[in-house]
Amino acid sequence: MFFTFLIGPAGSGKSTLASAFSDWLLDQGFDVALVNLDPGAEWLPYRPDVDARDYVTVQEVMERYDLGPNGAMIAASDLLAVKAIDLREEISGLKADYAIIDTPGQMELFAFRASGLHIAQTLTKGGGSAILFLADVVLASKPTGLISTLFLAASVQFRFLFPQIMVLTKSDLLKQEELTYLVHLIENPEELALIAEESLKGVYREMAMRFCNMLSDLNLPIPVTHVSAVKNEGLDRLYSILQRISAGGEDFVVHY
């Protein structure tokens, strides 16, 4: 089973893409285990095959421990981590080709607490895996938005050390030439450094330029693509990138 985690800021389109991409994989004849790892999800655009809410819910934690919504979300993520082995058994019992894993709306709960990393490592032990880092195209279409998105993507990559794909979501909201240019800038960060040089000042200009030039020098194996989950655009391209990673694993692992 190949594990694909969808990670990205709240509203970047994780749940919508998890749903659209698993439908697409099912249409291609694959077996899919669609997993919801958000114990706080009130509504999902799909019916998960494995659901964190069968183990713990934010509502129940709020009541039992007399916590507010924020504290309960943190506690629920930590309580879920204790159930990581059970989750793993439930998922592997489905014997699917792909596990598509939707992560909590607020990405910091999964990416920047010990519990998320523990769950990801427990689920994927012995199997192939990749992270789809989702970024909303509208946010990424301004230079500072794009640079901060790249910082965040690097931070997630550094946290998990899994092969990672940069997935620009909601491609239906930009024109084709704008999308092509955005992908070009991400693939050629030295050009983004030049934009930062013109559009920023002082220490911010310096920081952005050095970061972009560092990305350019390192030439990391991070594929970039764009999708629209509402128009089902780009799902075939996303699949072929995942297939390359699952076949050629090590080439996509960044060794720090």
Q: Counting contacts by CB under 6 A, is residue 53 touching ligand GDP?
A: no
User: Does 170 participate in binding ligand GDP (rule CB under 6 A)?
Assistant: yes
Q: Among residues 2, 8, 146, 189, which is the contact residue for ligand GDP, using CB under 6 A? A: 8
Q: Does 149 bind ligand GDP (CB under 6 A)?
A: no
Cα–Cα distance measured from residue 110 to residue 119, given in angstroms and rounded to the nearest whole number: 9
Question: Does 129 engage in binding with ligand GDP (CB under 6 A)?
Answer: no
If you write DSSP's letter for every residue of 105-138 in order, what string do you get?
SSHHHHHSSHHHHHHHHHHHTTSEEEEEEEEEHH
Q: What is the gyration radius of the CA atoms in the chain, in angstroms?
A: 18
Stretch that binds ligand GDP, among 93-101, 150-158, 228-236, 237-245 (CB under 6 A): 228-236
Q: Pairing relation of β-strands 164-169 and 98-102? A: unpaired
Examine residue 11 and tell whether it contacts ligand GDP (CB under 6 A).
yes
Beta strands in 42-161 (DSSP E): 50-51, 98-102, 128-136
Location of structure tokens 């794009």 = 146
Residues 6+ apart with CB under 8 A from 181: none
- CA-CA-CA-CA dihedral for 84, 86, 87, 89, to nearest 10: 120
Nearer to Mg ion, 14 or 88 (CB): 14
Out of 124, 157, 169, 246, the only residue in the binding site for ligand GDP (CB under 6 A) is: 169
Residue 77 binds which of ligand GDP, Mg ion, none (CB < 5-8 A, kind-dependent): none
Q: Does 16 bind ligand GDP (CB under 6 A)?
A: yes
CB 53 within 8 A of CB 68: no
Q: Which of residues 79-118 bind ligand GDP (CB under 6 A)?
A: 105
Q: How far is the CB of 130 from ligand GDP (least distance, A)?
A: 17
Which span (67-75, 147-155, 225-233, 237-245) binds ligand GDP, by CB under 6 A?
A: 225-233
Q: How far is the CB of 169 from ligand GDP (least distance, A)?
A: 6
